[in-house]
Structure 1
């Protein structure tokens, strides 16, 4: 080797090490390229120190992928492999390499606070992953985070926004996800056993490089003032995560609202999760709830496909109203996300077993889809703009939603107490339209009950932070109601439940008036009991609804 060549090699090695340390710091890692075997160590401050010599870097680049075993993972089901797993992904992220698990491996992941950051295609294959939550250092630390290498930035010059605004004026590097907040306005001021003071006014939308808003997911609020507005460039290349047989060994913590987030957290746009399985073991007579094994947030265009999930056991605690309350606990969650699709997803436990909580919770989302799913629940807490449920079966918790736009339910079987429950804790509000077609309702899973197609509750005495609406138009066509099992003196199914039993005449005054449905269009609605469909037990409240 000539002196000139040697100097060039030293320079390139030093540059590589410097670049690695700089980029790896985002993942709490330091990557070097000194001579010697591959080393993965923990530093004094908890950082992951990874060394890969140049000849191994060349070998991995030629292969186009790395494996967990390359970085010391044992896969024996006993040794904690989280450091090796995190190191593999950190190295793969730096060099743009795919990650592949060993199909025969059983990777044990203990309670150490360490998150593996995924930025490249990952094939978990048939490998088993045991996530032990019995002794966890930080319940809020995800096991895997799927993130973008792109950096968000503030949009300082935008001081207000209008509902359905079509364009923003801002210099953008390309398509971006915009998140906006007005902390001076509170909305979704929750009512009931889990009452709270609401959330800051929030919206999320997508713009192209010229600032044009994607009107399929429009701005839904007027922002007279903005306290924070952020743009995150959108990754245009799809990232794929495939396979994996995950098992959570459940926590045994006190039953209170200390949510566990030991999960796969997706924080990057354009992601496909396919063929994953998640099971749960070790649930006893108490435990803290889970925020979701697959959580999707602050991103757009995410699909979870051909995936098997598991509902969590329901535990109780004392809620904000100082009364006993069952705690929501989830295997799926989505928050501030756009274009989220669940396709051909099922769960391991019975969708009609009410000892397990409903499997999905969501907030501030737009354009959510269930297609060919068999799951215990669809749920939108703090609003969804546009949702579609098709070719699916919903279990004991049915469809719960508040929000706006179009709620479309087609070719599906619903086994909840109603077809749609408009959540009363957020004002039973849907500002838009509901279409139900080619569906079957099996009320309460076939237990004797007097069903209503649209359920909810609204007193008109609580300020939710927004005007509350019933769907302006409801279209129901080709619906079969299996009400063969019903109580004595059954009058037949109703379109609407009794939303306000106190509202019996003009003497009742709403402090916050409810905007009622204008029309209901019925085509070919049949019942197993032979009894006709009624408007409601509360004829006064719905006297102005036109039923066609």
Structure 2
């Protein structure tokens, strides 16, 4: 008898996009090779008991892959196939075999707490998967978990770190993801209807075997002390997930912040997801929100391409401030992850339909990319270091972010209320530079509105746990502003929205001063309304901003 133990964990934070409390979930799959038929059953304690006949084992290894039907999956859309699916992957993982879904199958997955652990290439093909969330045992349990064979460890001798430190005082067995936390320091102390007391300071970066920090994933905080540190060796081969037509039958729970994580969780570096489709059915008058059908965390170099997603219906609840709020509900979630790209991705519902929440939420990330995407939203809640949006169209929720480094928006159409919105609940902060070029801005999706290119809100009276900055330099080149449909009193588009309506003269005092933009460079900005581009409705706040114009303005 071979006992195949699978231990995996979910580091799920309680913030808006990462959903639920931290929980360790242990699954055991016992694989035997007795001279009986190949079958899958469950023990009284919940263990998955898999017997693979010696004849079948030889056949599977000779064939070079396994199907879900090899382990008893019916694929009839009615029988719960999760045990068979999990067993298939367990055997495939043990023998390093790819997995293929059966052609024409429809796999029903009920509410049982059972995750299929994926550690080998998987081709879902054109098979369908019905994930029924109407009655689940554990809303935090993923359906599929793409995990690493590598094991995390605690590197020794690292007691502090400095921002932008180039090398750490340790050696590693190979290039690793290093994750650090100082629980004595609070950052991202949220303001507004979902106010909170912040989160422990954390960071994630890549370090090679000699201790050199990858310059593309710099350390962004000073860590005077470290209360938790771990290193995870990075997988060097690409694990590929292709195809699959997934449908979530939505939960009908009360509309509260009880996030559902019945998803595909990616916890391995170097993963490609290609040509997957996800749809949603059964959304009613109430429902709990979702934390991302594709949920990426604690990893690097993940690419999702040629994928079709679906925005979730927006439900309302009472927020921490005791007032009604709309709950974020996501089909894409990226948390504490590096070098994550979405290429040629779109969604089934209208990107301008405000009844559906924006499709992406992210926290603690570095180097996020949209390329050739048509999606309702890009969002970085608790910070991103460097982001790029190119060749894309953004819908009604537009681009929302705070963070550091360089934010590039190029050759894209933005249909939100501004080109970039600096999230006010986290201090409207970006310490770095914005580059906006070769873009079209359609304010408020073409509805009458007073357009501003950069929006946000900052009173200077709240401590967010860090000094708040506006981009030091903003470069806007070859921008077309489609503002012909505007209110009667429209004065023309502004570079900056009115970030603080109370700052009307020099007597206003910011308890926590805002570091404002030094320079805006404009080149070839054309405006459909024929009106001039203004600085802001708040000239007092932005009086020291230098605006440099080159090229034509029409």
TM bucket normalised to smaller: over 0.9
| TM-score in terms of structure 1 length | 0.96
**Distance in 1 between residues matched to 2:286 and 2:464, nearest whole Å:** 33
Between Structure 1 and Structure 2, the one with more helix by share is 1
Aligned counterparts, 1:472-487, within 5 A: 472-487=472-487
Q: Is the 8 A contact 2:156 2:170 kept in 1?
A: no
Equivalent residue number for residue 346 of structure 1: 346
Structure 2 residue matching 1:531: 3-state secondary structure: coil
Please report how far the alpha carbon of residue 487 of structure 1 lies from its aligned counterpart in structure 2 after TM superposition.
0.3
Q: Is the 8 A contact 1:27 1:90 kept in 2?
A: no
1:28-55 CA-partner distances (Å, limit 9, x unpaired) = 2111111111121111211111111222
Equivalent residue number for residue 461 of structure 1: 461
Aligned counterparts, 1:230-379, within 5 A: 230-379=230-379
Large movers: runs of 4+ above 3 Å: 20-27
Q: Specify every segment of 5 or more residues in structure 1 that has no aligned partner in the other structure, as ranges.
A: 1-16
Structure 2 residue matching 1:273: 3-state secondary structure: strand
Aligned counterparts, 1:131-530, within 5 A: 131-530=131-530
**Distance in 1 between residues matched to 2:544 and 2:169, nearest whole Å:** 44
Q: Is the 8 A contact 2:4 2:28 kept in 1?
A: no
Q: Is the 8 A contact 1:504 1:540 kept in 2?
A: yes
Q: Is the 8 A contact 1:296 1:337 kept in 2?
A: yes
Q: Specify the structure having the higher radius of gyration (Cα).
A: 1
1:303-339 CA-partner distances (Å, limit 9, x unpaired) = 0000000000000000000000000000000000000
Please report how far the alpha carbon of residue 167 of structure 1 lies from its aligned counterpart in structure 2 after TM superposition.
1.0
**Distance in 2 between residues matched to 1:35 and 1:470, nearest whole Å:** 69
**Distance in 2 between residues matched to 1:97 and 1:205, nearest whole Å:** 31
**Distance in 2 between residues matched to 1:23 and 1:516, nearest whole Å:** 51
Equivalent residue number for residue 10 of structure 1: none
Aligned counterparts, 1:36-185, within 5 A: 36-185=36-185
Please report how far the alpha carbon of residue 157 of structure 1 lies from its aligned counterpart in structure 2 after TM superposition.
1.5
Please report how far the alpha carbon of residue 122 of structure 1 lies from its aligned counterpart in structure 2 after TM superposition.
0.1
**Distance in 1 between residues matched to 2:28 and 2:315, nearest whole Å:** 35
Cα gap change, 1:332 to 1:24, in 2 (>3 Å): closer
Aligned length: 531
**Distance in 2 between residues matched to 1:214 and 1:530, nearest whole Å:** 47
Q: Is the 8 A contact 2:6 2:28 kept in 1?
A: no
| TM-score in terms of structure 2 length | 0.95
Please report how far the alpha carbon of residue 156 of structure 1 lies from its aligned counterpart in structure 2 after TM superposition.
3.3
Structure 1 residue matching 2:41: 3-state secondary structure: strand
1:95-136 CA-partner distances (Å, limit 9, x unpaired) = 000000012000000001100000000000000000000001
**Distance in 2 between residues matched to 1:386 and 1:273, nearest whole Å:** 22
Equivalent residue number for residue 539 of structure 1: 539
Structure 2 residue matching 1:94: 3-state secondary structure: helix
**Distance in 2 between residues matched to 1:64 and 1:276, nearest whole Å:** 23
Q: Is the 8 A contact 2:5 2:28 kept in 1?
A: no
